[in-house]
Chains A and B, each alone.
Chain A
Amino acid sequence: MIAAAILHLLLLFLLSPLLLGVIGKTKACFAGRVGAPFLQPYFDILKLLRKGFVLSRTTTWVFIAGPVVALVVPVVASLLIPFGALAAPLAFTGDLILFVYLFGLARFFTAAAALDTGSSFEGMGAAREVTYSCLAEPTVFFALIVLARLTGSFSLNGMLGPALAGQWPTGGAPLGLILVALLVVLLVENSRIPFDDPNTHLELTMVHEVMVLDHGGPLFGLVLYGAAMKLFVLGSLLVGLVLPWRTGSLLADTALFVIAMLLLAVLIGIVESVMARLRLLRIPQMLIGTSLIAAFAMVLVLR
């Protein structure tokens, strides 16, 4: 279990910023640019961590707690979820609920840290973040119910494990539906296009990026690293759903998982390149629609 945990954490710590690099490169390809090197996110994080602090005079300890919790939560959550065929180091009945609620905790702290600055821009971002999550969270549970029903397990390890592999041929329709729903949740929770644009600054239409406007230096480094890890951990949920098969060899399993994660990053890059941002008022409608898709998948497995 200790060895598994170390492997899990190594993959998470080392590979998560690479996903951002791959997304950036994919987008550059689509735009006909050379783009920043794959390792650019690593350089960014290292550069930020070496800088000094600048704190707003209105802020309190909450402002620092936000990035800290946003970094700790994906690390802890990564222990609960299998990375492809690598079983989760910590699996127990009902860990899926803890998994979802841990990200709720991170959201509470980041939104509170945004409000701590007293800036109206950050308040706006925090309001949008918590609102969209209200619409995304039921979707996740509809999807998890589908998985629990099909596999008969109440633990992420069992839900995304070999039991799921046997269900794909017969339960393809509901599984495909929740795959779409979870992809949408992944894009919303990680503030990607079409719901949010991680590259624009200072627009009234932003969500996540505007919340961290006043975080700079090492704190912003933590925010960036935490966001990369969150993308990695939530992405592994999707990869686990698509790739429940085991090869039996640890090396092959790990390689397969890493390749799948990189493909997911390419997919996100493609989505970001070919889609425009949704209008702000359309986002809730889109999210409710996604919830309904997931609910329909649940109806399919409960019938």
Chain B
Amino acid sequence: MVTAAFLVATLSLFFSGVPGLLLPRGSVAGERLALAMVVGGSTLGLAAAVGVVLAPAPLLFSYPWGVPGGNFALCLDTIAALFLLPVYVIALLGAVYALGYWPERLNPGTGRRLRLFYGVIVAALTLVLTAASSLLFLVAWEIMALAGYFLITTEEKKEEARRAGFLYLVATHTGTLALLAMFILLGEASGSLDFPYPGALAATGSAAGIFLLALFGFGLKAGLIPLHVWLPGAHAAAPSHVSALLSGVMIKTGIYGLVRLTGFFAEIPPWWGWTLLTLGAVSGVLGVAFAIAQHDLKRLLAYHSVENIGIIALGLGLALLGRSHGLPALALLGLAGALLHVVNHGLFKSLLFLGAGSVIQATGSRQIGGAGGLLRRLPVTGICFFGGAVAISGLPPLNGFISEWLVYLGALHSLHGERALSLAAVVAPTLALIGALALACFVKVFGALFLGAARSAQAAEAREAPASMRWPMLLLLAACAGIGLFPASVFPLLERAAQNWGVEAAGGLLAVAPPWPLTFVAWLLLVLAALLWLWRRRARRQASAADTWGCGYALPNSRMQYTPSSFAALLVDLFRWGLRPERHGGRAEGVLPASASFASHTPDAILDRLLLPLVGGGARACTWLRARIQNGSGGLYLLYVALTLCSLLIFLLLRG
């Protein structure tokens, strides 16, 4: 029943864009039909996911199909449900948002293909998250990757989108290659292409190879530094509701893969956890540092995805260490924190991307520095963005705090272990650094976009988004607040997911990390702030208005405001060793200087300074080698044939 609902939901999503293809360009009917199918499919899928959560045991479904090597096998357990819930929610809200953001009548050239691949990627995502055989997983993974490519290049007329799409395609196929090798090794180890049962594999023999290949393949999708190079460009180039889907849920398939794979093994070598912790810490700190230095709103948000993937990796690393050292409480806290952060990040990051879309539509620009004062023009978008900013900074009383709190508790629990393990407590200061940097970054973004005075004519004339764009944001904000105010409601879910993963602690999550005081404090905070607010509000009516004090300067204007890049300059300077920001101009020359200009720019140091030179060097070396080997002289080619024959003969001799 639940499985059937899930399959129907997947089919409905998969084909949601197809009727529109048969209808003429610019037809509103196709748009409405696609929306109806996405909404119907997502609602059904949500119901199925809830059914999975309520079911006493994981639901298994297997159908022998004609493709060699394995069955069409699905496994619907709580881990899958936890990842599926945000997929359906964000897909549904994103489709509604698209009505206002990318309407067919304004985008007849791209609308149909956008909706087609939107449906395809969501359906493929749900299959990736439920597949229980290697072949089905890889097929769904590839469909997802390709649909992602077409979504990123929606605006293919723009050079930037084509570049980002190509980089994404190269990255994702490199990852698939690693995953293919990984699944072959896994199949050899388990004896079948169907996924093994949790805890069925011994961590011997090829386990290290499997883990490293998975870390590379899945890490590339998730965007762990240094494998994140495709991510900022791709998220920036895609339409905003697609960015929300890509950043909110698509990159989480990498995390899902790592969680699922590590669940197969009975015991975990400690170095797995340490590797993931290190990668997580590097991704978290450098991701947010790169984000602070960005001027492009969507690139900035994309780097924050790298940061949050880092936080998730920290949690997962703690969970692995907990399993290696036999501390179930640590494993439970780490995994619960990681999984809850997956859900939370899906919610608040898509909220922020939808808010960014609304800002971009209103001002016509992705540059943060050109906006300002939007809170008066876009009050609803402003509040939603503010909520998202508070949540992503991990501040109470919203949901980001709850998951970070669990990871922190995990870090503290590692102090209970032996000496080698207690070093993992360093996760706590690392998280504190990441959180404080994220706060700095989002004060900058929110302040530059929504506060102060407008810095450009477009920002001064900005109009609030239509209702179809406002409601999805408000609902996402409500979801963020809901998890933040009632964390106990999601804890049983996390606990069951941990059981599916093979971790069970005495008393469960509620005993290790009782969340009720958090609820109490969150409400106390809200009530006190509301009381003070009401008290002040009465007096505020008699307030007199004045200009902002210009420190004696009589003619202040909006260009004299502190710019976002100045705001970030102190922090960018502290991280100069990793970011390598570029500065141009800015020096006034002579006694009576002429007008001068200054620009700063922070490209992705790992892509531009490491990867591209490396790949370029490799390509040149190959060209050089090819020119030597294939130089057009027939005699040399004959020599090659003779040499090959000789080596084959020697090989046969040695074998015989």
**A-contacting residues of B (Cβ < 8 Å)?**
372-373, 375-376, 386, 389-390, 393-396, 401, 404-405, 408-409, 412-413, 415, 419, 422-423, 425-426, 428-433, 435-437, 439-440, 442-444, 446-448, 450-453, 512-514, 517-518, 520-521, 524-525, 528-529, 532-533, 536, 539-540, 542-551, 556, 558, 560-562, 566-571, 574
Q: What is the bound-complex CA distance between A120 and B548, given in angstroms?
A: 10
Q: What is the bound-complex CA distance between A58 and B40, given in angstroms?
A: 44
Q: Which residues of the partner chain A approach B532 to less than 8 Å between Cβ atoms?
A: 68, 71-72, 222
CB < 8 Å neighbour of A284 from B423, B543, B544, B574: B574
- Beyond the given A95-B517, A120-B561, A303-B419, please list 8 additional residue pairs across the A-B interface where CB-CB is below 8 A: A54-B544, A94-B405, A101-B396, A112-B386, A115-B451, A126-B567, A139-B429, A154-B412
The answer to whether B539 touches A118, judged by C-beta atoms less than 8 angstroms apart, is no
Q: Which residues of the partner chain B approach A95 to less than 8 Å between Cβ atoms?
A: 517
Q: Does A298 count as interface, using CB distance less than 8 angstroms?
A: yes
Given contacts A57-B545, A90-B517, A92-B517, contact A104 B443 (CB under 8 A): no
The answer to whether A56 touches B408, judged by C-beta atoms less than 8 angstroms apart, is no
The answer to whether A93 touches B570, judged by C-beta atoms less than 8 angstroms apart, is no
CB < 8 Å neighbour of B419 from A117, A130, A154, A302: A302
Given contacts A127-B567, A141-B429, contact A94 B513 (CB under 8 A): yes
Q: Does A15 count as interface, using CB distance less than 8 angstroms?
A: no
A interface residues, tally (CB under 8 Å): 78
Q: Interface 1/0s, chain A 53-64, versus B by CB < 8 A?
A: 111111110101
Q: What is the bound-complex CA distance between A95 and B401, given in angstroms?
A: 12
Q: What is the bound-complex CA distance between A117 and B395, given in angstroms?
A: 23
Q: Which residues of the partner chain B approach A62 to less than 8 Å between Cβ atoms?
A: 375, 386, 450-451
Stretch from A143-151, A236-244, A262-270 forming part of the interface with B:
A143-151
Q: Which residues of the partner chain A approach B408 to less than 8 Å between Cβ atoms?
A: 94, 97
Given contacts A55-B543, A112-B446, contact A118 B439 (CB under 8 A): no
Given contacts A53-B544, A145-B415, contact A76 B525 (CB under 8 A): yes
Q: What is the bound-complex CA distance between A288 and B9, given in angstroms?
A: 53
Q: Interface 1/0s, chain A 164-198, versus B by CB < 8 A?
A: 00000000000000000000000000000000000
Q: What is the bound-complex CA distance between A214 and B546, given in angstroms?
A: 10
Q: Does A29 count as interface, using CB distance less than 8 angstroms?
A: no
Q: Which residues of the partner chain B approach A65 to less than 8 Å between Cβ atoms?
A: 529, 533
- 9 cross-chain pairs, A with B, having the tightest CB-CB distances, nearest first: A123-B562, A115-B447, A118-B452, A53-B543, A130-B440, A138-B429, A134-B436, A92-B517, A56-B548
Q: Which residues of the partner chain A approach B450 to less than 8 Å between Cβ atoms?
A: 62
Q: Which residues of the partner chain B approach A122 to less than 8 Å between Cβ atoms?
A: 562
Q: Which residues of the partner chain B approach A105 to less than 8 Å between Cβ atoms?
A: 390, 395-396, 525
CB < 8 Å neighbour of B549 from A64, A119, A124: A119
Q: Which residues of the partner chain A approach B404 to less than 8 Å between Cβ atoms?
A: 97
Q: What is the bound-complex CA distance between A98 and B435, given in angstroms?
A: 13
The residue in chain B whose Cβ has the minimal distance to the Cβ of A55 is: B543
Given contacts A55-B543, A138-B429, A213-B549, contact A68 B529 (CB under 8 A): yes
Q: What is the bound-complex CA distance between A298 and B427, given in angstroms?
A: 13
Q: Does A107 count as interface, using CB distance less than 8 angstroms?
A: yes
The answer to whether A138 touches B430, judged by C-beta atoms less than 8 angstroms apart, is yes
The answer to whether A55 touches B439, judged by C-beta atoms less than 8 angstroms apart, is no
**A134, chain B: closest CB distance, angstroms:** 4
Q: Does A116 count as interface, using CB distance less than 8 angstroms?
A: yes
**B-contacting residues of A (Cβ < 8 Å)?**
52-60, 62, 64-65, 68-69, 71-73, 75-76, 79-80, 90, 92-95, 97-98, 100-102, 104-105, 107-108, 111-112, 115-124, 126-128, 130-131, 133-135, 137-142, 144-145, 148-149, 154, 202, 213-214, 218-219, 222, 284, 291, 295, 298, 302-303
The answer to whether A101 touches B561, judged by C-beta atoms less than 8 angstroms apart, is no
The answer to whether A131 touches B440, judged by C-beta atoms less than 8 angstroms apart, is yes
**A276, chain B: closest CB distance, angstroms:** 21
**A233, chain B: closest CB distance, angstroms:** 14
**B387, chain A: closest CB distance, angstroms:** 12
The answer to whether A140 touches B514, judged by C-beta atoms less than 8 angstroms apart, is no
Q: What is the bound-complex CA distance between A130 and B376, given in angstroms?
A: 25
The answer to whether B433 touches A138, judged by C-beta atoms less than 8 angstroms apart, is yes
Q: What is the bound-complex CA distance between A131 and B389, given in angstroms?
A: 17
The answer to whether B409 touches A134, judged by C-beta atoms less than 8 angstroms apart, is no
The answer to whether A112 touches B443, judged by C-beta atoms less than 8 angstroms apart, is yes
The residue in chain B whose Cβ has the minimal distance to the Cβ of A106 is: B395
The residue in chain B whose Cβ has the minimal distance to the Cβ of A294 is: B429
Q: Which residues of the partner chain A approach B437 to less than 8 Å between Cβ atoms?
A: 134
Q: Which residues of the partner chain A approach B551 to less than 8 Å between Cβ atoms?
A: 119, 121, 202
Q: What is the bound-complex CA distance between A115 and B447, given in angstroms?
A: 6
The answer to whether A108 touches B432, judged by C-beta atoms less than 8 angstroms apart, is no
Q: Which residues of the partner chain B approach A295 to less than 8 Å between Cβ atoms?
A: 429
The answer to whether A104 touches B393, judged by C-beta atoms less than 8 angstroms apart, is yes
The residue in chain A whose Cβ has the minimal distance to the Cβ of B409 is: A94
The answer to whether A92 touches B514, judged by C-beta atoms less than 8 angstroms apart, is yes
**A84, chain B: closest CB distance, angstroms:** 22
Q: Which residues of the partner chain A approach B451 to less than 8 Å between Cβ atoms?
A: 60, 62, 112, 115-116, 118
Given contacts A76-B521, A123-B567, A145-B429, contact A98 B436 (CB under 8 A): no
Q: Which residues of the partner chain A approach B540 to less than 8 Å between Cβ atoms?
A: 53, 55, 64
Given contacts A94-B408, A144-B428, A302-B425, contact A127 B570 (CB under 8 A): yes
Q: What is the bound-complex CA distance between A302 and B544, given in angstroms?
A: 58
Q: Which residues of the partner chain B approach A55 to less than 8 Å between Cβ atoms?
A: 540, 543-546
Q: What is the bound-complex CA distance between A55 and B537, given in angstroms?
A: 13
11 contacts between A and B (CB under 8 A): A55-B546, A56-B545, A62-B451, A90-B517, A94-B409, A101-B394, A119-B556, A133-B436, A133-B440, A148-B412, A154-B413
Q: Which residues of the partner chain B approach A303 to less than 8 Å between Cβ atoms?
A: 419
Q: Which residues of the partner chain B approach A219 to less than 8 Å between Cβ atoms?
A: 536
The residue in chain A whose Cβ has the minimal distance to the Cβ of B430 is: A138
Q: What is the bound-complex CA distance between A117 and B453, given in angstroms?
A: 8
CB < 8 Å neighbour of A116 from B413, B436, B452, B544: B452
Q: What is the bound-complex CA distance between A57 and B637, given in angstroms?
A: 82
Q: What is the bound-complex CA distance between A102 and B453, given in angstroms?
A: 29
The answer to whether A214 touches B549, judged by C-beta atoms less than 8 angstroms apart, is yes
Q: Which residues of the partner chain B approach A115 to less than 8 Å between Cβ atoms?
A: 443, 446-448, 451-452, 562
The answer to whether B570 touches A97, judged by C-beta atoms less than 8 angstroms apart, is no
